[in-house]
Structure 1
Amino acid sequence: MESNTIEVRGLTKRYATTIAVDDLSFTVRPGRVTGFLGPNGAGKSTTMRAVLGLDRPDAGSATVGGRPFTAHRQPLRLVGALLDAAAVHGGRTAYHHLLALALSNGIGRQRVGEVLDTVGLTDVARRRVKGFSLGMRQRLGIAAALLGDPPVLMLDEPVNGLDPEGIRWIRSLLRSLAAEGRTVFVSSHLMSEMQDTADHLIVVGQGRLVADTTMTDLVRDQDRVLVRTPAVTALVALLRTAGASVDPLGDGALAVTGLGCDRIGDLAADAGLRLHELSPQRASLETAFMDLTRDAVSYRGAAPNGATR
């Protein structure tokens, strides 16, 4: 087994009568960004805490490199984690917070300056953390995760509080770390950002595995083709006969799934049907995620008219 592989096998964790994680199994491999998605209350944070030995599972296991995280002699050199950006003593400066972590893990002072520079906090390194914005605390938490130059990174909602430049920076950082062969495991509720960042996805709902797949495969299942034609009735019948799913959109427009542009164009040409538009519509991760987790949402808001969505 690769030393920087995360393995979760049959993981179960209960809190009183609530099952937070229910017989969950998956593998996070190096060399790619793996997104960890799920509705609120799906068990994502509990799973990450179990991997880090902060929560003891009731059943199953969570290991890094085939061993529990707590069994490694220098854990900060193996896994860099950000679970809670607020978990910092506000009276310390950014520099001294990182220095304390470094010295307790046998990491040299020079590395503190390097990670402060990486996350863009060099100019405020001597300021007390209690005066930091949420975005600055997020950057400090990422600096702490990078401190041991670990082969494994686990980040829970790392873009919270970041401005657009910061979001683009963290996206580039995560992808560059994965390109170096590191294991990058990151949770987020920002579907558009995850679609631009992750290569692989682990999706959970109500503590159970919903999907373990590549970004490409998950989104491809939702792809459709937009077609416009003056011969709506004839084309709908033709495409449905060919096995496509067709949804009329009005004004001669059709949303077609199950057939690609080339096949639709060939069928229309063979039948002598004119097309005014034929364009692929890439599905969003948000759409795919909502479809996957529709039955696994623990908390639902009410629609403006009082009806439940």
Structure 2
Amino acid sequence: MSVPQWLRHRPWTAFWVRRAARLALSLGIVLTASFAMIRLVPGDPVRAALGVDAAPALVAARRHQLGLDQPFPTQFRHYLDGLLQGDLGTSLVTGAPVAELVRTRFPATLEIALLAFLLTLAVALPGGLLAAVHTRDGRRPHAELAFTALTAGLAGVPDFVAASGLTALLAVALPLLPVAGTAGAGSFVLPVIALALAPTAVLVRIVRVEALKVLSEDYMRTARSKRLPPARLYLRHAAPNMATASLTVAGSLLPAMIAGTVLVEKVFAWPGIGSAMAQSVVAQDYPVVQATVLITGSTVLLAGLLVDMLLALLDPRSAIREM
């Protein structure tokens, strides 16, 4: 996207204008996709909701009541009008307002996504730095090989496979944690770990690479020659200089975690918006699918915007370099 001349001398204004334009375009795509994609699935949602034995006249009347017998552009216009009024529609299956479903279920999804993100940061940032310290300059090659193999294997594990494996091990074979539901703090452990496992493996590898670069710099050699305490050497001199690159990668993982809650919630019967989405797709419940896809997609986009804002504040030069 080209930047107007009057913005070229206002890098911060240009940065926010570009981000706002990108967000608006992305939201428009998500909104259109959330409306269109479920209608491309074969089948009749009204017949699915009323049952296969419902009278044709009843089905036709219900389709007319919901506006599903109208042309696609007309349906889309009514959908947009409803969104502007805060109306997400009514479930075809339960008859309940979709906005109420979102209000009750969305916080549960955010809880496990944010906890998984915090767990990823808490493990990957110190873990990557520690791995770099112990394997720098070719030291401990066996430890480096084990670290690389372990993290590469964990990084490739899909969320639902991790969720199923953790359930089999820690809830069935060793009944240490609840299998499903939200019965106390223990019920958060398995879904949070399942969401955080692969992102942690990815991030810890990136952190180690960035830490190795920092540890090889001249100022770090000078600091080591002064025999500074390890805590001061690594936390004060090394950690801040690898933070920006590491947080950039970490920020890109947060939207993926939010999107990944769909399958994890299904495995653990977690009462979030992801499990509601999965159920509504099977039932062809148009309003619920539209709302859950729109809310999830918008949250992913807003999370990405917040990450961009944080990184721009931590490293203002990155915003200026985009000009």
* TM-score (normalizing by structure 1): 0.20
* TM-score (normalizing by structure 2): 0.20
The higher relative CO (CA closer than 8 Å, separation ≥ 6) is in: 2
Greater strand share, 1 or 2?
1
Greater helix share, 1 or 2?
2
